[in-house]
């Protein structure tokens, strides 16, 4: 049995395949997911698992060099934006429109869907390198 903190086999597999600048999305329960992108659906019920719980678990395994967030999160869900930005002190944070964000999801290796019901609780994680 895997000893690490992240035990979801699908997420672990995607992270193990990620190279420099590959991207993964962690999203709320409402983000449209492109049909050609691997969907890892963790949503169980409203709020379970939460966006931040899922993000923190993924960050325990994935080296991130940049995150992409929709401007709308900063405006509509300011408390969540502050929580998210506090996790990325040494990481570039890029803000785009929600429409541009949705277009960018088409280039991601996977979308991890949570049970989050907070508007615009979506983030693209761009893989860094560990050396």
Q: Is 98 annotated as a binding residue?
A: yes
DSSP string covering the chain, please? Answer: ---SS---HHHHHHHHH--TT-EEEEE-TT----TTSEEEE---BTTBS-HHHHHHHHHTT--EEEEEEEHHHHHHSHHHHHHHHHT-TTSEEEEE-HHHHHHHGGG-SEEEE----STT--EEEEE----
Q: Is 79 annotated as a binding residue?
A: no
Q: Is 86 annotated as a binding residue?
A: no
Which of 5, 7, 17, 20 does the annotation list as catalytic?
20
89 is catalytic: no
Q: Is 36 annotated as a binding residue?
A: no
d(CA 9, CA 15): 10
Q: Is 28 annotated as a binding residue?
A: yes
Bridge pairing between strands 110-113 and 38-41: parallel
Binding residues for substrate: 28, 98, 120-122
Residues carrying an active site annotation: 20
């Amino acid at each position: 049995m895997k000893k690490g903190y992240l035990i979801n086999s699908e997420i672990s597999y995607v992270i193990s395949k990620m190279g420099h600048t590959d991207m993964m999305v962690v999203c709320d329960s409402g983000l449209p997911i492109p049909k050609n992108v691997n969907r890892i659906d963790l949503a169980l019920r409203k709020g379970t698992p939460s966006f931040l719980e899922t993000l923190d678990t993924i960050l325990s395994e994935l080296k991130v060099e940049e995150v992409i967030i929709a401007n709308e999160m900063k405006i509509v869900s300011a408390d969540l934006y502050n929580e998210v930005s506090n996790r990325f002190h040494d990481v570039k944070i890029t803000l785009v429109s929600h429409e541009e964000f949705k277009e960018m999801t088409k280039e991601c290796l996977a979308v991890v869907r949570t049970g989050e019901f907070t508007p615009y609780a979506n983030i693209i994680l761009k893989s860094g390198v560990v050396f």
